[in-house]
Amino acid sequence: MRQFLTDIQFEALLSLYSQRDFPEPTREAVRLRIINGHTYELAEFITGVSRRNIYRGVLKLKKAHEVLSQVYGERR
């Protein structure tokens, strides 16, 4: 997976979500997927979070990043 967020951007986006929306294990699993480039399977094995929840978390952050980038006029 191509890394679409830097570590700082990742942390900033996560700060917008509550612990209920993004529990700590899910945050770690999504971090492993986006920042470290692990596969969904490996992130699931390490954290115990299902691949489905990891995938949904990645999609949620990707969509938020796209919206914020458009709104603030960031070039891709």
Residue 33 in any domain: the answer is yes
Domain assignment present for 1 = no
Q: How many domains does the chain have?
A: 1
In a domain, 55, yes or no: yes
Give the predicted TM-score (pTM) of the model: 0.87
Read off φ and ψ for residue 35, nearest 5 degrees: -80, -45
User: Has residue 76 been placed in a domain?
Assistant: no
Q: What is the pLDDT of residues 5-34, one digit of tens each?
A: 999 999 999 999 999 999 999 999 999 999
Q: What does the chain come to in residues?
A: 76
Give me 75's structure tokens.
Answer: 């070039």
What confidence tens digit (pLDDT) does each residue in 36-71 have? 999 999 999 999 999 999 999 999 999 999 999 899
Task: Identify whether 2 is part of a domain.
Answer: no
- Best CA proximity match to 64, nearest among 4, 1, 2: 4
Two tokens, residue 36: 């470290």
Comparing CA positions, the residue from 54, 36, 59, 34 lying closest to residue 44 is 54
Residue 62, domain extent: 7-71
